Structure 1
Amino acid sequence: MLILVAGITGFVGIPVAKAALERGYQVRGLARNPDRLPKGLLERLESFETLTGPHDIAALERAVAGVDAVVSTISATPELIMETQVLLLKAAERAGVKIFHASSWNLDWRRSPGTHEVYASLAHFAHHASMTSTIKPIYMFTGAIAEWYFVRSAKDWDRETKTAFYHGDSKFKTRYTTADDIANYVLEAITAPDAAEGGYIRLQSFEASPEDVVEAYNAAREGRAKATHKRLGSVEDAKAKLDEGRAKYTKAEWWNYAWYIYQYHIPLCTWDYEPVDVARFSNVKQTSLEEFFRQNPDV
């Protein structure tokens, strides 16, 4: 099986590529810069296509030629979701590809339209695909990606002070999935007998509150480091910051207030779902929060 991983240099694309190679599949990469791949990964790929820009149709055509499945791990930004990913879908359709996993790893962005600017783009892509394409994409709900919260987002986790920041209740649990678990779930989904039928998949690795984060971190570090959590205000305070941001910035500047969208809506369970497909893909061993911290000693 030859799998195209579009956006292969990203923090979901790299685990997907590695997991696919470990399972014996061939992998083709598509991204702007192969130099962003980890050392040794490029040489293991069947090939790599360089995307010169979001509308590089020629590169997309070359990338999908002869592949059995497309996994789009491109960043969830409006331009890439609604323009590049649509072009990728249409190129895959012309090439006769039947299996297409769309970029979708978030909470259930179909719920409560209008509450999240980028979730709207994800939902609009799904709507557009259903009306215009013969391909039926796979979409996967995973909650928060653990690596984003604990590695990339200093607003959620301070790696220096080992502090988890939040609004609301310290006992409220958020759904998380690790990037490695996402990779394995994706491979289970695209190789399932009904993969070409597409549809929505609901998964998670673990649920954790700020108190759970501290407990798991301290257990994983075995006394070598201590974590803490810090409440920044109530859910209503997060809503006030969100309203202030939306009043101050245009939608094109959505990233300036995006953090408060999550801080307000996740405690309200605005986009929540039940991870019913964990049982369906029981071959994937869920990573626990403590295991995640042990696997990431620099967090």
Structure 2
Amino acid sequence: MLVLVAGVTGNLGSRMIDSFISRGHQVRGLGRNPSKLPSELRQKLENFVEVSSSVDVTGLEKACHGVDAVVCAYQGHPELVVEGQLLLLRAAERMGVKRFVANSWNCDWRDMTLGMQESYDPMLTFQQLVKLTSTIRPVYIFTGVLAEVLFSVPGHGAFTPANKGVWDPKDKRMEYYGNGEDIWYWTSERDAAEFTAEIVQLEEYKQGGYWNIYSGAHSLLDIARTYEKVKGRKVTVQCKGSIEDLRREALEARSKATKPLEYFEYCGLFYQLYTNDGTYRHPCVISKRLHVETISLEQFLSQNPSVAVLVVVVVVVVVVVVVVVVVVVVVVVVVVVVVVMVVVV
């Protein structure tokens, strides 16, 4: 199968390359700047179709020509999710493509309506428009929160308390509302890519539909305890109030917003709210037809690039201290030798 990955230079899109190739498929990339993709990944592509923007219809048609499936891994900006993705789907229609993975890889928003959470409104809009007008039946993949976002791995988003999130990577602090024991479903980007490749190659995939997948399911307090166990560092846990306190805070922040896209400043509160109150539904059973060995929370924390940075810092400090000690010893020895020589003379 030849698979087009639109947004192939992104965090998730770039991981799709190896996931599909390892299963015997070819991958064509679509993006604005091929240099953003590491050379070792570019060399694996069947082709890279460069477009000027997400509305470059000629480029989109060229990219879709001859492919068996399209995976839209655009970033989650409203214009891309609705307008850009719709143009990509229309190009796929004209090229006779039947398999299309829509931009998703997030919490399960199927039971939500417009206005409940602004950051998911574009996906609901796209879903309904396609249902009414297209012969393609897209697949939507729900992962819960991406682990790299949850832990604010550099370059992957910042779900920190400053952005109404939960994890402070600098101070090693976990903030929560309620009792801290509500379950958060999470998926690493690598696992999300692996599951996507598994789903795309299923025959029934062409019928479209919804898939729930995840790497793990833990409460925020579980995550804090696991972090302490893996890293040997104390995590401060802080309860910010009840779920109703969270609801009031989220609704109040929304009521004060006056500018377009201002919802980015408070949408983290709604992510927390709808996770805690059960609005996001996420079945606990993953289809046995999907053969993916998922990463554990312990493994993810051990491999977390931001944690690796801390290790490097510690190593550098130790090396510097050793060098300083050696230099001091050498200086002392030299001084002693000089003094002895002077005395002898």
Structure 1 length-normalised TM: 0.92
**Partners of 1:28 and 1:218 in 2: CA distance:** 42
Aligned to 1:292: 300
The answer on 1:33 being equivalent to 2:42 is: no
Counting aligned pairs with the same residue, the percent is 40
Question: Structure 1 residues 36, 135: closer, same or farther in 2, change over 3 A?
Answer: same
Contact preservation (8 Å) 1:109, 1:120:
no
Question: Following superposition of structure 1 onto structure 2, how do residues 52-71 of structure 1 map, counting pairs within 5 Å?
Answer: 52-71=52-71
Aligned to 1:233: 241
Comparing 95-104 with 37-46, greater Cα deviation is found at 37-46
**Partners of 2:204 and 2:112 in 1: CA distance:** 29
Aligned to 2:266: 257
Q: RMSD of aligned C-alpha atoms?
A: 1.8
Contact preservation (8 Å) 2:119, 2:264:
no
**TM-fit CA distance, 1:252:** 3.1
**TM-fit CA distance, 1:39:** 4.4
**Partners of 1:137 and 1:220 in 2: CA distance:** 39
The answer on 1:245 being equivalent to 2:253 is: yes
SS of the aligned residue for 1:23 comes to: coil
SS of the aligned residue for 2:229 comes to: helix
Question: Structure 1 residues 229, 279: closer, same or farther in 2, change over 3 A?
Answer: farther
Contact preservation (8 Å) 1:12, 1:179:
yes
Q: Which amino acid aligns with 1:100?
A: F
**Partners of 2:38 and 2:249 in 1: CA distance:** 38
**TM-fit CA distance, 1:9:** 1.7
**TM-fit CA distance, 1:162:** 2.3
Contact preservation (8 Å) 1:117, 1:251:
no
SS of the aligned residue for 2:276 comes to: coil
Comparing 271-280 with 21-30, greater Cα deviation is found at 271-280
User: Could you list the per-position Cα deviations for residues 220-273 of structure 1 after superposition, in whole angstroms to 9, with x for gaps in the alignment?
Assistant: 23x3x3433332333233223322322222453221111111122211011222
**Partners of 1:210 and 1:266 in 2: CA distance:** 11
**TM-fit CA distance, 1:24:** 3.2
Contact preservation (8 Å) 1:167, 1:234:
yes
Question: Following superposition of structure 1 onto structure 2, how do residues 118-197 of structure 1 map, counting pairs within 5 Å?
Answer: 118-150=119-151, 151=153, 152-153=157-158, 154-155=160-161, 156-197=166-207
SS of the aligned residue for 1:194 comes to: helix
Structure 2 length-normalised TM: 0.81
Aligned to 1:81: 81
Question: Structure 1 residues 275, 73: closer, same or farther in 2, change over 3 A?
Answer: farther
Aligned to 1:214: 224
**Partners of 1:273 and 1:267 in 2: CA distance:** 12
SS of the aligned residue for 1:74 comes to: coil
Question: Structure 1 residues 241, 38: closer, same or farther in 2, change over 3 A?
Answer: farther
Question: Structure 1 residues 26, 109: closer, same or farther in 2, change over 3 A?
Answer: same
Question: Structure 1 residues 251, 116: closer, same or farther in 2, change over 3 A?
Answer: farther
Question: Structure 1 residues 251, 270: closer, same or farther in 2, change over 3 A?
Answer: farther
- The structure that has the greater radius of gyration is 2
